[in-house]
């Protein structure tokens, strides 16, 4: 395999972890088996990103729309999340990883919300990679909430209309203070954004793989980064302008 260029690593990688159900169905397992195996993929990707020196890893774990799934599956997913946090919190602390959770967390069951808050608090002083987990998240809802907060601050005269620009708006998003993703990976071969980071991925490089999430491991991540490193990121400029820069 080709070698990664350390000076061209993405600062922020975001992943739409898709394909758990199909992985299980292909093997005649129940869906939860797919989710359980998907946790192993997440653990390996977190470890690999930390070792590479990636600054931020964002994982799309549970969307606001996912609450429409069968109650029994939602309950099992929440239990799986608690099990992951309980098992991985010591590793996060040991490896200096700071956990951040974004989304409408007030919709989470109380015991899950408390465990998430505790994990975020216990890792808040860590100075290494940021593991950003999207839980009960919706990109459109995030933007609507930002507009509401801006409207509130305008009404209370905390900001003026003239102060509102792209940088100001970004400050009101869940990802405030984080760099926008450089690389968005979607597994399972689906060519959809699925309401994920709609504002933040304006200039993000997108990599789609047919690999189902439970089969996604270190080699697949490396391949995605290698593909990213071959691309020319122009941010609206021409090739000639980039060459002169």
Q: Going by DSSP bridges, is the β-strand pair 12-16/56-63 parallel, antiparallel, or unpaired?
A: parallel
Q: Which of 7, 66, 104, 210 is catalytic?
A: 66
**Through-space distance between the first and last CA atoms of the chain, rounded to whole angstroms:** 30
Structural element, H or E, at residue 133: strand 130-137
Q: Which of 7, 18, 126, 220 is catalytic?
A: 18
18 catalytic per annotation: yes
Q: % helix / strand / coil in the chain, to the nearest 5?
A: 50, 15, 35
Q: Let me know: does 203 contact 231? Beta carbons within 8 Å.
A: no
Closest CA to 77 of 34, 120, 45, 130: 34
66 catalytic per annotation: yes
Structural element, H or E, at residue 14: strand 12-16
Question: What is the torsional sign of CA 104, 99, 190, 70?
Answer: negative
Q: Which residue has the tokens 């005269």?
A: 157
Q: Going by DSSP bridges, is the β-strand pair 183-186/130-137 parallel, antiparallel, or unpaired?
A: unpaired
Closest CA to 131 of 12, 9, 6: 12
CA distance 30 to 13: 30
Residue numbers annotated as active site: 18, 66
């Amino acid at each position: 395999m080709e070698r990664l260029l350390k000076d061209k690593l993405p600062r922020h990688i975001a992943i739409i972890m898709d394909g758990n159900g199909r992985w299980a169905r292909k093997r005649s397992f129940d869906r939860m088996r797919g989710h359980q195996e998907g946790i192993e993929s997440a653990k390996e990707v977190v470890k690999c990103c930390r070792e590479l020196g990636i600054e931020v890893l964002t994982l799309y774990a549970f969307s606001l729309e996912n609450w429409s799934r069968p109650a029994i599956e939602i309950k099992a997913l929440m239990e799986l999340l608690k099990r992951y946090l309980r098992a991985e919190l010591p590793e996060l602390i040991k490896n200096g990883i700071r956990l951040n959770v974004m989304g409408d967390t007030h919709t989470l069951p109380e015991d899950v919300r408390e465990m998430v808050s505790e994990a975020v608090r216990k890792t808040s002083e860590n100075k290494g990679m940021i593991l950003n987990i999207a839980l009960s998240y919706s990109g459109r809802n995030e933007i609507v909430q930002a507009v509401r907060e801006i409207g509130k601050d305008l009404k209370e005269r905390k900001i003026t209309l003239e102060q509102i620009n792209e940088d100001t708006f970004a400050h009101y998003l869940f990802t405030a203070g984080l760099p926008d993703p450089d690389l968005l990976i979607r597994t399972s071969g689906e060519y959809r954004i699925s309401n994920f980071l709609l504002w933040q991925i304006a200039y993000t490089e997108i990599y789609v793989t047919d690999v189902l999430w439970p089969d996604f491991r270190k080699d697949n991540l490396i391949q995605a980064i290698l593909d990213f490193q071959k691309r020319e990121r122009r941010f609206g400029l021409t090739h000639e302008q980039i060459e002169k820069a």
